[in-house]
Amino acid sequence: MIRWALLLAGCAGASLLGLAFGFYATFPSEEAATYAEYEFHHRNRDYAMEVGDVSPWWIPGVRATDVTIYTVKRGRRTKDVPKPGLERTPMLKLDSLGVRAQVLPLLMGRESYGFSAALIGGTVAGHFAQGDAGIDLSFAASGLDLTQMPIEKDNVIVHLGGTLSGKSDLSLDAEDVQNSTGSLSFSFDGLKLDEGTKVMGIALPVVTFATAAVKLDATEGKLVVSEGTFDGDVLDMTLVGDIALNKKLARSRNRLELMVTLPEDLDRLAKIAPLMKRARDSEGTYHFNIGGTILSPTFRAGKAAAGGLASSDEPGGSRIGGLGPAMGEDEAGDANPDDAREERRKRREERIKERRERLRKRREEAAANGGGGAIGDEHDEEPVGEDMEEPRIGRRPRANMGEEDVEQGDFDMGRGPPQMDMPDIGPPGNEGPAEDFEEQ
């Protein structure tokens, strides 16, 4: 009896092995690649995918190599081209992407997939599920090479160093985003700003960050920044605000603010730069708004309090053009330049310490107020400096404005109208998008 059982088991194993070998040997790679590209765009009209080779992976799954994901938008209509076609812009490249369907959830009418990807020197693996009830996204990422992720958008050029890791356990409720739960968190190892980094035309020095971490928690339909600290050896940055969740996760909108403290020499230069001095508050902190969608962010200078546009950190300092302190003992009358330099260094360290303490208090206030207390009242769509005292002049919303128009017109500084230094009126689009324009 045992002999017959072993014989049957051996035959079954050999049959399965032969079936698997035949399946791998005769797998229609080209047809599978074409089908995957079609289905990806059919389900996500704003994106497209192009793959190289496709092979079986942990049946019922497939693995594709040389994968490129594009954003898809209709081209600009002009007089010569009244009906423009669709334009594809590369967004992400992956060395490989494996996707395996989970059969039981599919039988219950819910799309559920496990995935594993190799990209930019690291790996990302997790689970994605989508149905009428909403979206579940969980993943763990590690070793992503930041040197392969340059940022060039609007008036910002950033060259990074170090690696990125992250994890997510986000659950998005499609019936009511207010009930969404979970969090996103990212950590950085050896993060630094490399040579060639420029913000609003100001070249930044090489900066190494001792600690850098970001965490967002889902609360009342928003991903609220509960931690956003970047402590550098030359400058410090703090991220506050939130991301307004949308039933379509990719269309969730950023309402974030990045606050930056610069070293003294760069601060003096930034105060005379047209795009930078507007963002400087009276305490010497620069405010930048991050808008757009979660996959297509925009970056622009914020509007700080008017008193900070021409203020000086030094008592008796010159207010002409915001150049900082007037020439005094430290600059010309001091008999010993080394002593003057040491004194300036000490004053700078004291100012940085004070600013860090103020930023720490702002983060605590933001956390206590649900993430928005430090950047404006509940009616602000885009974050502004907490020192804003002047009333903002709103604009009449355009009823036919589409998703592309909002991003390209209101948020894209490179395409927007030239900004004038007007202390009573903020830069065009700084008041943020109207509520009616968000996807529901």
Which residue would you say has higher pLDDT here, 9 or 90? Answer: 90
Of 44, 50, 79, 43, the closest CA to residue 66 belongs to 50
- For residue 174, the model assigns a pLDDT of 87
Res. 151: pLDDT tops 70: yes
- For residue 101, the model assigns a pLDDT of 85
Res. 333: pLDDT tops 60: no
Banded pLDDT at 244 (limits 50, 70, 90):
very high
Asked whether the whole model's pTM tops 0.85, one would answer: no
Res. 322: pLDDT tops 90: no
- For residue 5, the model assigns a pLDDT of 60
Res. 209: pLDDT tops 80: yes
Number of Cβ within 10 Å of residue 309's Cβ equals 19
Res. 91: pLDDT tops 80: yes
- For residue 258, the model assigns a pLDDT of 93
Banded pLDDT at 426 (limits 50, 70, 90):
very low
Q: How far apart, in whole angstroms, are the C-alpha atoms of residue 424 and residue 66? A: 52
Radius of gyration of the chain (CA): 27
Q: How far apart, in whole angstroms, are the C-alpha atoms of residue 335 and residue 203? A: 32
For 174-264, list the strands marked E by DSSP. 183-193, 198-199, 202-203, 207-219, 222-232, 236-244, 253-261
**Residue 373 zone, left/alpha/beta (φ > 0; ψ -120 to 50; rest):** alpha
Residue 92, CA distances (Å) to 2, 177, 194 in order: 56, 27, 22
Of 438, 436, 428, the closest CA to residue 399 belongs to 436
Question: What residues does each domain of the chain span?
Answer: 24-98, 102-119+131-314+350-437
Number of Cβ within 10 Å of residue 212's Cβ equals 20
Mean pLDDT (the chain, rounded): 74
Res. 302: pLDDT tops 90: no
- For residue 312, the model assigns a pLDDT of 34
Which residue would you say has higher pLDDT here, 305 or 295? Answer: 295
Average pLDDT over every residue of 49-68: 87
Banded pLDDT at 105 (limits 50, 70, 90):
confident
User: Which of 19-23, 264-268, 359-363, 368-372 has the largest mean confidence?
Assistant: 264-268
Percent of the chain scoring above 70 in pLDDT = 69
Q: How far apart, in whole angstroms, are the C-alpha atoms of residue 413 and residue 432? A: 13
**Residue 201 zone, left/alpha/beta (φ > 0; ψ -120 to 50; rest):** left
Beta strand 183-193 with 160-173: parallel, antiparallel or unpaired?
A: antiparallel
Q: How far apart, in whole angstroms, are the C-alpha atoms of residue 95 and residue 51? A: 10
Res. 112: pLDDT tops 70: yes
Percent of the chain scoring above 90 in pLDDT = 30
CB 275 within 8 A of CB 286: no
Which residue would you say has higher pLDDT here, 323 or 377? Answer: 377
Res. 13: pLDDT tops 90: no
- For residue 124, the model assigns a pLDDT of 95
Residues across the chain: 440
Banded pLDDT at 325 (limits 50, 70, 90):
very low
Average pLDDT over every residue of 110-118: 90
Res. 239: pLDDT tops 90: yes
Banded pLDDT at 11 (limits 50, 70, 90):
low
Q: Which helix (H) or strand (E) holds 51?
A: none
Q: How far apart, in whole angstroms, are the C-alpha atoms of residue 263 and residue 206? A: 12
CB 185 within 8 A of CB 161: no
- For residue 249, the model assigns a pLDDT of 86
User: Which of 92-96, 137-141, 313-317, 353-357 has the largest mean confidence?
Assistant: 137-141
Residue 314, CA distances (Å) to 59, 317, 323, 351 in order: 69, 5, 11, 11
Beta strand 86-101 with 198-199: parallel, antiparallel or unpaired?
A: unpaired
Return the DSSP state at 181: B
Enumerate the β-bridge partners of residue 287.
259
